């Protein structure tokens, strides 16, 4: 038993740790831990692993590994030099010969391809430059006489160019582009939200109500007098969506008891951007003349 092994065993027992507990903590087999404590390094898988096991064992006991190695340096297993594989001259020559043989097999094939390419190129240029006309110069044939005599001295009257009257282009009247997309809030005052839609048509409104949560919906004009434009809507037992078609007013007042219970509100085919608020809202929709 070595002094290092005795010290580690005493420190383990003083800490109240068993071999099984050290094995569970360090993942080192118990037989290797016993071999370290007894200094029997022959039962460990090599000096490298022996030093690694000692380091892990010491760290599990809370010890300073560098100080431990310095104090018990004589008890540490010596690091064995690792054998290095060296190729014999015969093996080296064999590998070089094999590489040279592969190269020598490909050289004739490459040369054969290059020679064939050069031959094809030479034949192409010879055929292209070959003179099939027997060396005689080709003389262009004169056009046949048409029998018509042209008097070059006769004056040909020149036609006076006629001035064309400029055509005035009438610019086409551009129609204002039709607004599309959601309608944003134009004015906010507490629970009152005002939307404006530019249209020459009467207001047609669709109010789509969710099944849950139930909400109150009432639609009137801004006078707040007279009959509702749409009946009160306290739950899902009535018509959904609520439709007010061709209202005879320029402003609608839609009172929502719980805005979260409304899926969407569509006015003349355009959806309103609903404010995300759990409180009661008074939504005013104004019709303004399109420019």
Written as six digits, the tokens of 128 are 């292209």
Domains of the chain (ranges; CATH) run 3-75 (1.10.260.40), 185-288 (no CATH)
Residue 210 scores a pLDDT above 70: yes
- Closest Cα to residue 233, out of 265, 275, 187, 202? 265
The pLDDT, as a whole number, for residue 175 is 63
C-alpha span between 221 and 90 (Å, rounded): 107
Eight-state DSSP code of residue 44: S
Q: Tell me which of 277 and 188 has the higher pLDDT.
A: 188
How many other CB atoms are there within 10 angstroms of residue 280's CB atom? Answer: 13
Contact between 33 and 22 under an 8 Å Cβ cutoff? The reply is: yes
The pLDDT, as a whole number, for residue 87 is 45
Query: In degrees rounded to 5, what are phi and psi of residue 144?
Result: -65, 150
Specify the pTM.
Answer: 0.39
The pLDDT, as a whole number, for residue 53 is 93
- Closest Cα to residue 238, out of 219, 259, 266? 219
Residue 208 pairs in a beta bridge with 264
Q: Tell me which of 81 and 288 has the higher pLDDT.
A: 288
Query: In degrees rounded to 5, what are phi and psi of residue 26?
Result: -95, -15
pLDDT in tens, 106-145: 788 898 899 999 999 998 888 887 755 444 454 555 555 5
C-alpha span between 129 and 121 (Å, rounded): 13
Per-residue buried b or exposed e for 66-87, using 16+ beta carbons within 10 Å of the residue's own CB: eebbeebeebbbeeeeeeeeee
């Amino acid at each position: 038993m070595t002094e290092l092994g005795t010290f580690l065993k005493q420190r383990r027992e003083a800490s109240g740790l068993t071999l099984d507990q050290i094995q569970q903590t360090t993942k080192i087999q118990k037989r290797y831990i016993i071999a370290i404590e007894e200094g029997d390094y022959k039962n460990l898988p090599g000096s490298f692993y022996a030093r690694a096991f000692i380091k892990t064992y010491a760290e599990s006991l809370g010890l300073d590994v560098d100080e431990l190695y310095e104090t018990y340096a004589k008890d540490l297993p010596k690091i064995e030099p690792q054998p290095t594989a060296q190729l014999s001259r015969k093996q080296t020559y064999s590998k070089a010969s094999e590489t040279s043989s592969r190269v020598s097999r490909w050289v004739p094939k490459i040369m054969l391809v290059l020679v064939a390419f050069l031959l094809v190129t030479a034949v192409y240029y010879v055929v292209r430059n070959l003179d099939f006309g027997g060396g005689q110069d080709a003389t262009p044939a004169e056009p046949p006489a048409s029998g018509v005599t042209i008097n070059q001295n006769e004056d040909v009257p020149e036609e006076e160019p006629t001035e064309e009257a400029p055509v005035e282009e009438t610019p086409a009247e551009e129609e204002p582009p039709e607004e599309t997309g959601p309608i944003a809030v134009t004015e906010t005052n507490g629970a009152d939200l005002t939307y404006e839609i530019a249209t020459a048509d009467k207001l047609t409104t669709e109010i789509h109500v969710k099944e849950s949560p139930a909400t109150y919906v009432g639609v009137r004009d801004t006078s707040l007098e007279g009959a509702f434009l749409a009946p009160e809507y306290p739950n899902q037992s009535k018509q959904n969506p609520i439709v007010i078609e061709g209202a005879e007013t320029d402003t609608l007042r839609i009172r929502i008891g719980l805005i979260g219970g409304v899926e969407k509100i569509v006015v003349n085919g355009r959806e309103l951007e609903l404010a995300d608020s759990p409180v009661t809202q008074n939504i005013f929709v104004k019709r303004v003349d399109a420019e």
